[in-house]
Amino acid sequence: MTTVRVAGVGLTPFGDHGDRAGRDLFAEAAAAAIDDAGIDRGAIDRLDYGNFMGALAEKQGHQAPLMAEAAGLDCPATRYEEACASAGVAVKAAVEAIRAGTADLVIAGGMERMTSLDTGAVTDALSIAADELYEVRAGMTFPSAYALMAQAYFDRFGGGREDLAHIAVKNHANAVPNEYAQYQREITVDDALDAPPVAEPLHLYDACPITDGASAIVLTSDEYAATHDLDAPVAITGVGQGGDRLALQDRDAIAETPAATAAAETAYADSGITAADIDVAEVHDCFTIAEVMALESLGIADSGEGILAARDGITTPDGDCPVNLSGGLKAKGHPVGATGGSQIAELTRLLRGDHPNSEYVANATTGVAHNAGGTVASAVVHVLEVAE
Amino acid sequence: MTTVRVAGVGLTPFGDHGDRAGRDLFAEAAAAAIDDAGIDRGAIDRLDYGNFMGALAEKQGHQAPLMAEAAGLDCPATRYEEACASAGVAVKAAVEAIRAGTADLVIAGGMERMTSLDTGAVTDALSIAADELYEVRAGMTFPSAYALMAQAYFDRFGGGREDLAHIAVKNHANAVPNEYAQYQREITVDDALDAPPVAEPLHLYDACPITDGASAIVLTSDEYAATHDLDAPVAITGVGQGGDRLALQDRDAIAETPAATAAAETAYADSGITAADIDVAEVHDCFTIAEVMALESLGIADSGEGILAARDGITTPDGDCPVNLSGGLKAKGHPVGATGGSQIAELTRLLRGDHPNSEYVANATTGVAHNAGGTVASAVVHVLEVAE
């Protein structure tokens, strides 16, 4: 089986793109990835594309052929929808196609337009990632769902708002030099603690923003990279996907995320790493509490100890395992269907040494991306390794 | 590489399911497929699931984990959206996963709720499969898009409404004994010609109905079928996918469907068949003219001759290559995200000999399924062969 390499990455800035069409955003990211890879777009075999709320935000379904056209591609294209993990499953499918030998050169990624809706409408649109019959009709929104998870975590393991604040502070600081980040500005613990509540115990700075953006990565086989002289030092060596009940009420426990644990176990076994090998990670911090549970599912923190990882400096840039050096969903932004591809792109830049925060991971060889859907009813984990 | 076999198939009746939730429909189809396969659902490795308009029809995205739960599965689940070809791409992904050795036992299929919307709303919902900026805003609906394609076909190759009527008559007659069909009743050529116009030259009986329904198929490897003593005489020996510009105006010609031609060429090469080998086909007749173009893309009819295939008796039950013995989308119904799986299920039943229309294909060994998205901006073709 071939090793799958990341030949190029491309991102739009994350933020408010005004009247720009989604196809325009994806075309920009794809062009950047193709340019970064130094390939001819005519050689691309397939597009694996993630999008979540296009039917609501742009009244546009059937986006895969549209995005292929926008990116100047002439190949089969498929859309994946797995809520906030849409691009994660798209990337995983691309990796599997190259491994299976059905494709040599693939573009994967995703796009989301969100600011085209007002805040109420985007909250409603996001809620379709939860169970309409048993959660949404009862009034549940995503901030309230993650608030329930945070409270359950506090009840079971301890911790509180100030611990979460350290995660927001860390991720905002990480975003400052990232030219693609929505919020390139620092906040303080007091800013976070004093911010207005969204759903207790979560306040404004515990939540990711509403974001437009696109991500694209070019993946290829070892052999194609060698024969075409592509500079692709980073490989995706492990993939894993997990699932859980959609509704929180149907789960055994809500202070942990077994779908992500299963995805991580599969990905680590696939790549042959253990959690101890991880040098850097991008995790799905749609809310600060989500980063906590992600760390525990990934094995970066033990059960009940993820809450202290930022505060204790384990996941800060100078810590043992820097997490969300991109700024994370919290400060880089979370264009839902693009996020999973953005995480891979950011990790690739970090491991290649051309990320503004690469200085913190100069000797890193192993990175992990954790992309979650809804209240982690689905999760995808990728292992990236430097493989010169 | 292993041969992928169809171990079981399951369908709900197609039609108006009233207040039933989509998850309930998919659970019914999945249970039927699991029962038909004679497997333990706990052994299933993954779910590949198609759905198109869930965000609009049920305000429900992130359906993959929801459908896994409804079907009693405990495995990763992924949703594919490729407009009317959503289940086709889901089945293709499942085949590729088994071939790659990453799964032994997979459920693939799809579900659509449509009657939950009124006719105007469902027309709007379907229109998201077209280009919102350049087609839908200009007033294009799917009947009008296919009317343009029909008129272009007539202008280029000849033919007219009466030729199309023979397709509707054939497919309605085929549906009569099919217990899953929405319309188990015959129509006449005069009925079709006298029906009210929808978008000239297409009248009421040229269009498929609005339908709820679900499909599920259990796929497995040759080795798993043998070691677990599964009765799975039909194999999927070829898969192919093609793409085109989303908007009709961006294409070189609209009287033919090159995405389907590309998908067929890939699938035939994959399986080692030629068009001359095809004994029976299920094709995507969302409108009668779509069946014509499908026959030409599949090579069942030469260019410009598909229009006469039903009238001349080539694709009728007693003809050289019976097409849409299930009743097709026209008379069996078209629950968009379920259709691609339904085609595979119907072909499997026909080739196994347990379909009410199997008598017409008693010696058939090779079937082809043609599933198209939008105005054939995407297409998936599967080749099925009896492989005892």
Whole-complex ipTM: 0.97
Tell whether B55 lies on the interface with A, counting CB pairs under 8 A. yes
The pLDDT value recorded for residue A325 is 98
Q: Using the structure block, give the residue that is written with the tokens 């970066």.
A: A300
B84 is catalytic: yes
The interface residues of chain A toward chain B in range 20-39, judged by CB-CB distance below 8 A, are 21
- Any CB–CB contact under 8 A between A239 and chain B? no
User: In A, which residues are within 8 Å of B99 by CB distance?
Assistant: 100
> Looking at CA atoms only, how far is residue B267 from chain A in angstroms?
13
- Confidence class of residue A312 from pLDDT cuts 50, 70 and 90? very high
A77 contacts on B by Cβ (under 8 Å):
243, 378
Instruction: For residue B322, give the amino acid letter.
Output: P
What DSSP character marks residue B209?
A: -
Catalytic residue among B75, B84, B208, B321: B84
B291 vs A: CB within 8 A: no
pLDDT tens digits for range A55-73: 999 999 999 999 999 999 9
Q: For residue A242, give the nearest of A293, A312, A303, A180 by alpha carbon.
A: A293
The whole-angstrom distance between residue B384's C-alpha and the CA centroid of its chain comes to 14
pLDDT value of position A156: 98
3-state secondary structure at position A220: strand
Q: What is the mean pLDDT of residues A352-375?
A: 98
- Residue numbers in B near A68 (CB within 8 A): 243
Q: pLDDT tens track of chain B, all 388 residues?
A: 899 999 999 999 999 999 999 999 999 999 999 999 999 999 999 999 999 999 999 999 999 999 999 999 999 999 999 999 999 999 999 999 999 999 999 999 999 999 999 999 999 999 999 999 999 999 999 999 999 999 999 999 999 999 999 999 999 999 999 999 999 999 999 999 999 999 999 999 999 999 999 999 999 999 999 999 999 999 999 999 999 999 999 999 899 999 999 999 999 999 999 999 999 999 999 999 999 999 999 999 999 999 999 999 999 999 999 999 999 999 999 999 999 999 999 999 999 999 999 999 999 999 999 999 999 999 999 999 999 7
Task: Give me the pLDDT at residue A1, please.
Answer: 82
> For residue B88, which residues of chain A lie inside 8 Å, CB to CB?
none
List CB contacts (< 8 A) between B259 and chain A.
Answer: 65
φ and ψ at residue A351, rounded to 5 degrees:
-75, -30
Integer Cα distance of A58 and B246 in angstroms: 15
Strands B202-203 and B197-199 come out as antiparallel
CATH of B4-117+209-386, one of 3.40.640.10, 2.60.120.470, 3.40.47.10, 1.10.10.10: 3.40.47.10
As a whole number of angstroms, the distance between CA A350 and CA A364 comes to 9
Give the one of B65, B129, B245 whose C-beta lies nearest to A377's C-beta.
B65
Q: What are the two backbone dihedrals, phi and then psi, of residue A266, each rounded to the nearest 5 degrees?
A: -65, -45
Q: Is B222 on the interface with A (CB under 8 A)?
A: no
Q: Is B269 on the interface with A (CB under 8 A)?
A: no
A65 touches B at CB < 8 Å:
yes
Q: For residue A374, name the pLDDT band (cuts at 50, 70, 90).
A: very high
Indicate the helix (H) or strand (E) that contains A168.
helix A161-175
The reply to whether B106 touches chain A by the CB within 8 Å rule is no
Question: How many Å apart are CA B286 and CA B19, to the nearest integer?
Answer: 25
Query: Chain B residue closest to A239 (CA)?
Result: B102
Written as six digits, the tokens of A231 are: 């500079």
Q: How far, in whole angstroms, is CA B90 from its chain's centroid?
A: 12
* CB-CB contact of A331 with A181 (8 Å): yes
- On average, the pLDDT of chain A sits at 97
Percentage of chain A modeled with pLDDT above 70: 100
Query: Residue A158, class by beta-carbon neighbours within 10 Å (0-12 exposed, 13-18 middle, 19+ buried)?
Result: exposed
What is the number of helices (H) and of strands (E) in chain B? 13, 11
Nearest-CA residue of chain B relative to A20?
A: B133
Q: Tokens at residue B304, please?
A: 């410009």
**A378 part of contact set with chain B, CB < 8 Å:** yes
Instruction: Write the pLDDT tens digit of every residue in A12-32.
Output: 999 999 999 999 999 999 999
- Residue in A53, A54, A82 closest to B79 by CB: A82
All residues of chain A having their beta carbon less than 8 Å from the beta carbon of residue B56 are: 55-56
User: Could you tell me how many CB contacts below 8 A there are between chain A and chain B?
Assistant: 152
Cβ <8 Å between A62 and B244: no
The confidence score (pLDDT) of residue A388 equals 74
Provide the 10 A C-beta neighbour count for residue A42.
9
Query: To the nearest whole angstrom, how far is the Cα of A240 from the nearest Cα of chain B?
Result: 9
Q: Does B245 touch chain A (CB under 8 A)?
A: yes
Task: Tell me the CA distances in angstroms from B11 to B230, B343, B367, one per residue in order.
Answer: 20, 10, 19
Is 80 exceeded by the pLDDT of residue A288? yes
CA distance A194 to A372: 28
pLDDT in tens, A31-40: 999 999 999 9
CB spacing of B65 vs A243 below 8 angstroms: yes
A242 is written with which tokens? Answer: 């997990």
Q: Which among B74, B128, B243 has CB closest to A59?
A: B128
Q: Please check whether residue A129 touches B, CB under 8 A.
A: yes
A276 within 8 A of A260, measured Cβ to Cβ: no
**For residue B270, which of B225, B224, B223, B237 has the smallest C-alpha distance?**
B237
User: Which residues fall within 8 angstroms of residue A57, CB to CB, at 6 or more apart?
Assistant: A22, A112, A113, A114, A116, A117, A122, A125
pLDDT score, position B11 = 98
- Asked, as a colleague might, if the bond just before A233 is cis with ω within 30 of 0, I would say no
B 162-201 residues with CB < 8 A to A: none
Of A21, A76, A374, the CB nearest to B243: A76
Q: Tell me what pLDDT residue B388 has.
A: 74
